[in-house]
Structure 1
Amino acid sequence: MHNHGLGSWMAKRRLKTPDKTALVFQEASLTYRELADTVDRVSAVLAHRGIGKGDAVAYLGENSPQFLQVLFACAQLGAVFVPVNTRLAPPEIQHVLTDSGARALVHDPEFAERVTPAIEAARIAHVIVTGEGVTGFPGLTRLIEQATAGHRDAAVSLDDPVAIVYTSGTTGKPKGAVLSHGNLTWCAMNCIVDYDVSTADTALLISPLFHVASLGMGAMPVLLMGGTIVLEKGFEAGRALELIQRHGITMLSGVPTTYQLMAEHPSWESTDVSSLTKLTCGGSAVPTRILNAYEERGLRFSQGYGMTETSPGATSLAADMTRVKQGSVGLPHFFTDVRIADEHGDMVPRGTVGEIEISGPNVFLGYHGLPEATAAAFTDDGWFRSGDLGYLDADGYLFIADRLKDMIISGGENIYPAEVENLISDIQGISGVAVIGVPDERWGEVPWAVVTVREGDAEVTTESVRTQLDGVLARYKLPKNVVVVEDLPRTASGKVRKADLRARFGKKG
């Protein structure tokens, strides 16, 4: 084969495990042979429209087999897959489509109204709608039926780009992290080694595949090993528990909120969860009360740390070390290295807080179309600068000390305050704004906006701010509360002291 990347995976699985169940979705299942055959046909559909090596193909849709089929079809052609967060507002979708230079877009029909302005603005050449299609746009299902079979084998190396995944921007606009075939392959290998993923595993995927955590650490290692994925459009605690028992689920990934809602569900005590052997959790530390609830059922978590730019795994805390090293995000993944540097870029002793730097074949290629931002993200010797602060203890375990970029993680979604602040500052009457994360029992933390107002202007309220931002920002980015203060605490250079604001408001939920 000429394709040494993800584009060869399904053909090889068809050869090795043709009759093994690859996907279960809405009570229907697909074997690896059926999945590979469909991927071949989707690649024919795209190739017929002139999609080839290096062309960007965007996908806006919920979890479904079509998501993975389009991804692997793009990989087969050497094209670049661009997953779009379904929770984005129309202007945010437009930015992703325009910035990525997408030549084609595949989207679920329910997003037609939201995506129409973006299609026109981004000048998308080809639009395909999943299912049977809508007026004016062909349906993917029918196109697959009409397409010719046969595997396409474009020349692709592990260093070629396979996806552009957008991560919220620290300065306002989301940036496209370019991931290579090698990045996702080595991330999958890290998971296989550190989580002992095998062909016997059945994984329940309840988190959106447009997030690189669900894609890179959920779907990819399972498909590489020939395991089975039970794919859900979204998460509902009772439904998840029912599927765990019915399918004998062995692997489950989520954020603390996911596990909390399951443990609080009426069916929790009566559900047989004994098949679960691999529980992974990211986004933020698992609260002690959740650890207790799962340990009472004989279940333990592996926790970790990472980001889109590392495909996403960087470190992993083994389940048997959860209590011993509570508060840690673990050791570097097997094929990944982590070090701590001071503000001058010099390495610091164990136990000293500094910036977390990461190296390995899972680290991204750079930011799409942003050479300066890419250069700034790497050290002179090629390590990725995470922008997060942490330290390594005497045993080499990583502890996160602070977020250099002030990122907020709400229910597993990353929120960068600068993006929200830029829009709030344009609202009439607001003279100053700082967005901070405030602890929340359900979501881990939620964004609050602390603002100052100009005298004599219209009253600024939480409702008025949210109303003006609704439709411009994804709803999870909208401030849960807007607090009006007389002055924002600032440093001598005029920068807002967010630590002071977090200390003042952080104890409120």
Structure 2
Amino acid sequence: MQNQGIGTWVGRRAQRTHDQAAIAFRDQRIGYDELDERILRLADALNTRGVRKGDRVAYLGNNHPSFLEALFATTLLGAIFVPLNTRLAPPEIEFAVNDCGAATLICQDTLLGLARAGTENTSVTQRICIGRADVPGVEDYDEVVASGSARFHDLPVSLDDPALILYTSGTTGYPKGAVLTHGNLTWNTFNALVDYGIGSGERVLLISPMFHVASLGMGALPILLQGGTVVLHEKFEPGAVLQAIEQERVTMLSGVPTTYQLIEEHPDWATTDLSSLRHLTCGGSTMPKRMLEAYEERGLHFSCGYGMTETSPGATAMPPHMSIEKMGSSGVKQFFTDVRIVDEQGGSLPPGDVGEIVVSGPNVITEYWRRPEATAEAIVDGWLHTGDLGYLDEDGYLFVADRLKDMIISGGENIYSAEVENLISDIDGVTGVAVIGIPDERWGEVPWAIVTVRDGVPLDTATVLTHLQDRLARYKQPKNVVVVDELPRTASGKVRKADLRARFGG
């Protein structure tokens, strides 16, 4: 067999698992045999429509069986799957689609308006819609699947071939496409299996969108490789999560601190049967002590981790039994991954010394899509320079100290301040702007904009939000706008954001 890629995983598993449920969605139960057939049919249909190895297929949708079908069908052909964040504004979608050069777009009917607005002036020539068949120029997804033959396309796909392009916000304000290969995703899956002890028959509840690599790479792919069941929720709702854990006998849950907090605060928390849960993974930021203890009281232990899109996404993982003893840590390096702390010259630092976190391993990307300069800056001698500051203790546990990049993590979503600042700077009368993260009990942190304006120019939060409304995803928009007389700057003119965080962050 020529195809070594992830596109073959469901077919290989179907030979072994047959009618076992691969996906549970609403009232549907989709077995591995059925899922394999739909993937083969979709792959054939896409091939008939001209999709070839190396082509990009964009997907705009929430958690849905079609996401996994499209992912595996696209990669089965050696083409590249490009999932788009459903919270993006049309110009952001337009940038990503034009940057990757996707000619095919698959989207959900509820997002068709956004899809059309975001791809009107792009390379997209064919649109396939899930749930709607009556729009001119748009094909019905189920009809496309039915039109294909359930024959296997054994195309030469290697572990070094690109499988995904995931767009991450850039420090310059322009997103970069992180290219994840079949090998990156395969080795990340191996890391998850080893470090989280994922076995056969697991049932993972995905409450975070799969267009984020954490939900896909640490949840869906490891479970499907092991022949388990992926329970899909289209959106996060704490009560529905608790109900699903009890009714579906969920064994694994992945999320960020905010989601776990909202689950614990729900009225049904105390009465829900959580006895099936064995694995709780958490990323985005460290889990507060109060939340660790609340879950420990229910016999549940967390495996917090550190990673990013560029590491597919795992870099470190916390052994669950150490979550209290090593509280505040993001764990140890994952099994097939290496983590170091380096100084400004790239030299390794001893335990306890703070420096930049760098990561290496077969799960780490080797390039950004058509961004050779960004690639060369980020990946040096095989080590990914994360831009994050941290230290390793004597036992090799990572503690993240701060961020070199001006990135805000709000409810698990990454927000780069430069992207927001560029748009606010376009507002007439604004003479300076700095976007910073302010601590927030629910979301971890939220963006605030600190601005200076010309004399006599009125500016408030409402004005800024009106300007950003159709230009920027809502979660990136500032929750508050503060007008100041001047921004603190270094001798070279750079804004001292640490001073602003100290002043406004309390």
Task: Specify the TM-score bucket, using the shorter chain as the normaliser.
Answer: over 0.9
Q: Judge which range, 145-154 or 320-329, deviates more.
A: 145-154
Q: Does 1:470 align with 2:469?
A: yes
SS of the residue corresponding to residue 335 of structure 1 reads coil
Q: 1:287 to 1:118 in 2, by over 3 A?
A: same
Instruction: Please report how far the alpha carbon of residue 115 of structure 1 lies from its aligned counterpart in structure 2 after TM superposition.
Output: 2.0
Supply the distance in 1 between the matched residues of 2:131 and 2:468 (Cα, whole angstroms): 32
Match of 2:24 in 1: 24
Match of 1:505 in 2: 504
Match of 1:340 in 2: 341
Supply the distance in 1 between the matched residues of 2:34 and 2:370 (Cα, whole angstroms): 37
Match of 2:104 in 1: 104
Q: Does 1:418 align with 2:390?
A: no
Instruction: Please report how far the alpha carbon of residue 123 of structure 1 lies from its aligned counterpart in structure 2 after TM superposition.
Output: 2.6
Structure 1 residue ranges, 4+ long, deviating more than 3 angstroms after superposition? none
Q: Deviations over 1:362-385 (max 9, x none)?
A: 001211011111111111x21111
Match of 2:357 in 1: 356
Supply the distance in 1 between the matched residues of 2:319 and 2:365 (Cα, whole angstroms): 24
Letter in 1 for 2:19: D
Q: Does 1:295 align with 2:296?
A: yes
Letter in 2 for 1:174: P
Match of 1:234 in 2: 235
SS of the residue corresponding to residue 269 of structure 2 reads coil
The 5 Å alignment of 1:193-272 reads: 193-272=194-273
Any conservation in 2 of the 1:7–1:72 contact (CA below 8 Å)? yes
Letter in 2 for 1:113: G
Letter in 2 for 1:227: G
Match of 1:496 in 2: 495
Instruction: Please report how far the alpha carbon of residue 351 of structure 1 lies from its aligned counterpart in structure 2 after TM superposition.
Output: 1.0
Supply the distance in 2 between the matched residues of 1:307 and 1:48 (Cα, whole angstroms): 35
SS of the residue corresponding to residue 93 of structure 1 reads helix
SS of the residue corresponding to residue 494 of structure 1 reads coil
SS of the residue corresponding to residue 503 of structure 2 reads helix
Instruction: Please report how far the alpha carbon of residue 303 of structure 1 lies from its aligned counterpart in structure 2 after TM superposition.
Output: 0.1
Match of 1:7 in 2: 7
Any conservation in 2 of the 1:336–1:359 contact (CA below 8 Å)? yes
Any conservation in 1 of the 2:252–2:277 contact (CA below 8 Å)? yes
Q: Deviations over 1:290-333 (max 9, x none)?
A: 11211111111110000000000100111111111111111000
Match of 2:166 in 1: 165
Match of 1:480 in 2: 479
Unmatched tracts of structure 2, length 5 or more: none
Q: Does 1:324 align with 2:345?
A: no
Supply the distance in 1 between the matched residues of 2:41 and 2:343 (Cα, whole angstroms): 52
Letter in 1 for 2:311: T
Letter in 1 for 2:166: V
SS of the residue corresponding to residue 491 of structure 1 reads coil
Unmatched tracts of structure 1, length 5 or more: none
Match of 1:375 in 2: 376
Letter in 2 for 1:198: G
Q: Deviations over 1:224-260 (max 9, x none)?
A: 1111111110110000000000011110000111111
Supply the distance in 2 between the matched residues of 1:148 and 1:474 (Cα, whole angstroms): 39
Supply the distance in 1 between the matched residues of 2:353 and 2:122 (Cα, whole angstroms): 47
Any conservation in 2 of the 1:109–1:133 contact (CA below 8 Å)? no
Instruction: Please report how far the alpha carbon of residue 146 of structure 1 lies from its aligned counterpart in structure 2 after TM superposition.
Output: 2.5
Supply the distance in 1 between the matched residues of 2:119 and 2:422 (Cα, whole angstroms): 25
Supply the distance in 2 between the matched residues of 1:96 and 1:176 (Cα, whole angstroms): 8
Match of 2:42 in 1: 42
Letter in 2 for 1:162: A
Q: Deviations over 1:396-415 (max 9, x none)?
A: 11111110002100000000
TM-score for the superposition, normalised by structure 1: 0.98
Letter in 2 for 1:217: M
Any conservation in 1 of the 2:292–2:324 contact (CA below 8 Å)? no
Supply the distance in 2 between the matched residues of 1:270 and 1:371 (Cα, whole angstroms): 54
Any conservation in 2 of the 1:11–1:151 contact (CA below 8 Å)? no
Any conservation in 2 of the 1:132–1:142 contact (CA below 8 Å)? no
Equivalent pairs counted in the alignment come to 505
Q: Judge which range, 252-261 or 146-155, deviates more.
A: 146-155
SS of the residue corresponding to residue 502 of structure 1 reads helix
Instruction: Please report how far the alpha carbon of residue 163 of structure 1 lies from its aligned counterpart in structure 2 after TM superposition.
Output: 0.5
SS of the residue corresponding to residue 270 of structure 2 reads coil
Instruction: Please report how far the alpha carbon of residue 124 of structure 1 lies from its aligned counterpart in structure 2 after TM superposition.
Output: 0.9
Instruction: Please report how far the alpha carbon of residue 348 of structure 1 lies from its aligned counterpart in structure 2 after TM superposition.
Output: 1.4
SS of the residue corresponding to residue 138 of structure 1 reads strand
TM-score for the superposition, normalised by structure 2: 0.99
Supply the distance in 2 between the matched residues of 1:8 and 1:114 (Cα, whole angstroms): 32
Any conservation in 1 of the 2:89–2:118 contact (CA below 8 Å)? no
SS of the residue corresponding to residue 139 of structure 2 reads coil
Any conservation in 1 of the 2:366–2:379 contact (CA below 8 Å)? no
Q: Judge which range, 123-132 or 155-164, deviates more.
A: 123-132
Instruction: Please report how far the alpha carbon of residue 119 of structure 1 lies from its aligned counterpart in structure 2 after TM superposition.
Output: 2.4
SS of the residue corresponding to residue 271 of structure 2 reads coil
The CA RMSD measured in Å over matched residues stands at: 0.9
Any conservation in 2 of the 1:257–1:444 contact (CA below 8 Å)? yes
